[in-house]
Structure 1
Amino acid sequence: MTATSQPKNPPIRSDWDAAQLLFATKSLHGHWHHDRAFGADVDAQSDTQNAPRAIVTDSRKVSRGDIFLAIKGDNFDGHDYIQTARDLGAAAAIVSTPVQADMPQLVVDDTKLALGALGAHHRNQFADLTVIALTGSSGKTTVKEMLGSILKRIAPTLITRGNLNNDLGAPMMLLELAAEHRFAVMELGANHIGEIAYTTKLVRPDVACVLNIGSAHLGEFGSREGICQTKAEIFETLDNSKTAIVPDEDDFAENLRELAGSFTKKVIGFGKSDVTAKNIELEAEGSQFVLAIDGNCVPVTLTMAGKHNISNALAAAACAHAVGISLEDIAQGLALAKPAKGRLVSQAFGNHELIDDTYNANPHSVRAAAQVLSAKSGHKIMVLGDIAELGDAASDEHFKLGKAIANTGIDQFFAVGEFADDSALGASLEGLSAQAFAHKAELLAVLKAYMASKAEPCTILFKGSRAMQMETLIDALVKE
């Protein structure tokens, strides 16, 4: 068994030599600990003499010539696997404490911070790169995909993969930058104050966007005001040559505009002011609208359902406009954008339709998903797992969610988890038929029987926080 950092990442190919590594980690007092010079073993191998050296944090992914960076996590310590990395051909290791292993070791004060320093150093090598960074309580993944669809049509673009958006993931993504890239879309998340401030300094965005301020991670930040302050950290490296993007229709719109304005005069709003949607036509599988920017208009067709995705499209359009992309290219990119896995992805199930929205959840996205479901045909069923990280407000937030879901006009509500009773009670008080379950297996049995009892086709939407793994219910249905 070998150690792995979280989140997992593939080997990052970039040519590092001893001097570069020392320079990048000088603030962490980096120094070499071994008699043999770094790279001696690699250079002795004729077939790998010119092989690029990767920074690898997962010992299972080490190839000859790579540099193994030992991360210490809550449940693992990469330092325990230095010899494993050596046996697989690692040319050197980056450690916080020297380890008994026959290989060069770059000793630094903190290997997590070293990963950040290496990512920042690598990002700084690309003078022609344009970086867009985005954060928010919901919609980050969708806007990231929309932006990727727009920008990749113009030039090679690096986009944050999966959930690599934290203090480990962001530098991992920066290390994947290559000479061909002209754009980078970096998603920045946070579960504590100061995390976005840290990753923003590594990323140094040319455009920084806050999508919205919801109640995700309310337990960590204490209040929505705290969340607003944390998300606004993304503006801290801006100056008047760079651009901030803010939501016009958010409860904290004025706060965000003021905070952004303290760093740059270039502030673009989406929703009501600078970037807007007119002539909106919502459909079950998508929408059509007219995108308006600076008095110019272009029709847009989205294949992503829900009014909230129009807001996401406006955010993506604002970011693309800020880096000089034409309206026509923005419209074409948006038309080609596809939802990420687990983001309102539909599939047929006999006569029924299953909607997988299980990637993650927060109160804002749950309400948006219920609105999408309400626009569907047939008998409409919502299956909701617990929403995590709501702290002391969890019971009340779930109760309010149940009430909100009931008022969308769906037909049946099933809830599962610790707070299922709260959300089911809220729905029931508003007149919606609702049931609560402690375990998914119980819910699945009732759901199958319920679907079988209906003569008309059903549309079933599944949602919940990542920890609930609500996609397992879909997998179980399809498998059977």
Structure 2
Amino acid sequence: MHTSTTSTAALQPWTAEELVLATQGYWHNNQMPQGAIKRILTDSRHAEAGDAFLALKGERFDAHDFIAQVAEKGCQIAIVSQPVDVDICQLVVSDTRLALGALGAYRRQQNPQLKVIALTGSSGKTTTKEMLGSILSRIAPTLITRGNLNNDLGVPMMLLELRPEHQYAVMELGASHQGEIDYTSNLVQPHVAGILNIGTAHLGEFGGREGICRAKSEIYRHLAKNGTAIVPSADDFSEQIKTAVHHQKVLSFGQGGDIFASNIDLKPQETVFSLHTPQGLRTVTLPFAGEHNVDNALAAVAFALALEISLDDIVTGLEQAQGAKGRLNFIPHKHHLFIDDTYNANPTSMRAAAEVLAQQEGIRVMVIGDIGELGASAAIEHYKLGRDLVSVKGINFVVAVGEFAPATQEGARSTQYGKKMQAFLTQEQALPLLMNLVETHQTQSMSFLFKGSRFTHMEKLMAQLMEKL
């Protein structure tokens, strides 16, 4: 699995001169560290001798307050935006957040051998990234964005992990505000850059999908002159995305694109399809369920082909790919099936997950938490979701949990299938109903799918139910 673990490999060390060169800072009182600096880090809990601690300032915290603590642990270097009264070498910079970006960009420039993919999208980023990781890391050492380190702090932190042996980097770029992807794509300097789709995630921050499209299209701004732009051909916003691309080389994926699928055979836990590419035709057995994962695979193929990876290597990598934790993981338990899709959620991925559940055996129960970051349209989006989920053929029950569960239930009741939906404000309230469902269907196997935005921690409810069975 590429996502969860922190890197244990030795990082490329820094010199005091390089830190100045990268950040344009100066050493306070000319007090300069001697010897190699093993790593730059922002978490004071892990600081030790040989590290440089970079003190970030947030709205509710200021890590300059922790510099005395890291000095006590033996850390001799701090990167600060104003000097503090602690006996430690201090590199003073104008803004530590921007300094982190500059350090990441410097490390990127020190590795000219690297071929970089940058990708963004409203859904499918993590799965596409894992598929690309599976394709590329078979060929050469590859750096892959871990977890959700995809923002203006996470991207440079990932770049700090670059080592001379890395030949490829797959960088996920997230957008939570206009200008963020412009900033991070400038740091990563991609050879291949692309958008997977324009959905409804983060609607609140952008005031609509047009705003999301504009924000994500910033990914093409820093693409290498001879680089390749990857665009979705079957997205509602395909035309708008294409207008943001000013590059010679463009590869499109999806229906009507350069790379597309036919003869799609959706099985409960895998998908078989014919892969059409400019390099030829192959049959792919993808170890992922759901038609949305065919789209993710097509995107991964487009990115890999743009790096001139052979079609045979691409297919082998796809067929050996593993899902990220909490992304449609199938867990047999007793004589039931649990599908853990709790990593995150948006309206598009919720509907895609329902289609996967509908393919499974026995009594099918979808348990959903709230979707975050929908702003003023949250209630109406949950209403539409309730209406659509109960209408999916093959789903027997939908259990909604959270603040917006009543809105979801209202949507369900606007259809003839309203009785399929139960709504609860908390997980504690929902658990007895789920146990009751199991008891009333004692003789039958059941398939449960759990999903919600990260903050809802739907995996806790899933674990509690599994324990009680």
TM-score, normalising length: structure 1: 0.93
Match of 2:409 among 424, 437, 443: 424
Letter in 1 for 2:454: R
8 Å Cα contact 1:170-1:199 kept in structure 2: yes
The 5 A counterparts of 1:11-410 are 13-26=11-24, 30-39=25-34, 43=35, 52-260=37-245, 262=246, 264-271=247-254, 272-294=256-278, 296-409=280-393, 410=395
Letter in 1 for 2:96: T
8 Å Cα contact 2:37-2:52 kept in structure 1: no
8 Å Cα contact 2:400-2:409 kept in structure 1: yes
What is the alpha-carbon distance in structure 1 between the residues aligned to residue 32 and residue 183 of structure 2?
33
Match of 2:451 in 1: 463
Shift of 1:405: 1.0
Shift of 1:100: 0.8
What is the alpha-carbon distance in structure 1 between the residues aligned to residue 180 and residue 279 of structure 2?
38
Q: Secondary structure at the match of 1:34?
A: helix
What is the alpha-carbon distance in structure 2 between the residues aligned to residue 347 and residue 463 of structure 1?
14
What is the alpha-carbon distance in structure 1 between the residues aligned to residue 207 and residue 12 of structure 2?
41
8 Å Cα contact 1:376-1:459 kept in structure 2: yes
Shift of 1:351: 1.3
What is the alpha-carbon distance in structure 1 between the residues aligned to residue 301 and residue 307 of structure 2?
10
8 Å Cα contact 1:275-1:293 kept in structure 2: yes
Q: Secondary structure at the match of 2:244?
A: helix
- Summarize deviations over 1:345-391 as a string: whole Å, max 9, x none: 11122111111101000000001000101111111111111111111
What is the alpha-carbon distance in structure 1 between the residues aligned to residue 117 and residue 224 of structure 2?
14
Compared with structure 1, are the counterparts of its residues 371 and 154 closer, same or farther at alpha carbon in structure 2 (3 Å cutoff)?
A: same
Shift of 1:10: 6.6
Range moving further from structure 2, 370-379 or 286-295: 286-295
8 Å Cα contact 2:390-2:421 kept in structure 1: no
Range moving further from structure 2, 274-283 or 356-365: 274-283
Range moving further from structure 2, 424-433 or 116-125: 424-433
Task: Kindly report structure 1 stretches of 4+ aligned residues shifted beyond 4 Å.
Answer: 7-12
Q: Secondary structure at the match of 1:162?
A: coil
Letter in 1 for 2:389: I
8 Å Cα contact 2:200-2:209 kept in structure 1: yes
8 Å Cα contact 2:370-2:456 kept in structure 1: yes
TM-score, normalising length: structure 2: 0.95
Shift of 1:426: 1.5
Match of 1:3 in 2: none
Shift of 1:9: 6.8
What is the alpha-carbon distance in structure 2 between the residues aligned to residue 464 and residue 191 of structure 1?
19
What is the alpha-carbon distance in structure 1 between the residues aligned to residue 217 and residue 42 of structure 2?
30
Match of 1:439 in 2: 426
Q: Secondary structure at the match of 1:13?
A: coil
What is the alpha-carbon distance in structure 2 between the residues aligned to residue 36 and residue 442 of structure 1?
59
Structure 1 unpaired stretches of 5+: 1-6, 44-50
Count of matched residue pairs: 459
- Summarize deviations over 1:138-168 as a string: whole Å, max 9, x none: 0000000000000011100000000100000
Letter in 1 for 2:466: V
- Summarize deviations over 1:427-471 as a string: whole Å, max 9, x none: 233233111111110011111111111131111101111111111
What is the alpha-carbon distance in structure 2 between the residues aligned to residue 279 and residue 138 of structure 1?
24
- Summarize deviations over 1:316-335 as a string: whole Å, max 9, x none: 00000000011111000000
Report sequence identity in percent. 52
What is the alpha-carbon distance in structure 1 between the residues aligned to residue 6 and residue 278 of structure 2?
41
What is the alpha-carbon distance in structure 1 between the residues aligned to residue 279 and residue 467 of structure 2?
52
Shift of 1:239: 4.6
What is the alpha-carbon distance in structure 2 between the residues aligned to residue 10 and residue 442 of structure 1?
40
Shift of 1:76: 2.4
What is the alpha-carbon distance in structure 1 between the residues aligned to residue 331 and residue 29 of structure 2?
57
Shift of 1:478: 2.6
Q: Secondary structure at the match of 2:78?
A: strand
Letter in 2 for 1:23: L
What is the alpha-carbon distance in structure 2 between the residues aligned to residue 240 and residue 163 of structure 1?
28
8 Å Cα contact 1:9-1:57 kept in structure 2: no
Q: Secondary structure at the match of 2:17?
A: helix
Shift of 1:77: 1.6
Shift of 1:341: 0.4
Match of 1:4 in 2: none
Compared with structure 1, are the counterparts of its residues 106 and 59 closer, same or farther at alpha carbon in structure 2 (3 Å cutoff)?
A: same
Q: Secondary structure at the match of 1:460?
A: strand
Q: Secondary structure at the match of 1:300?
A: strand
Q: Secondary structure at the match of 1:89?
A: coil
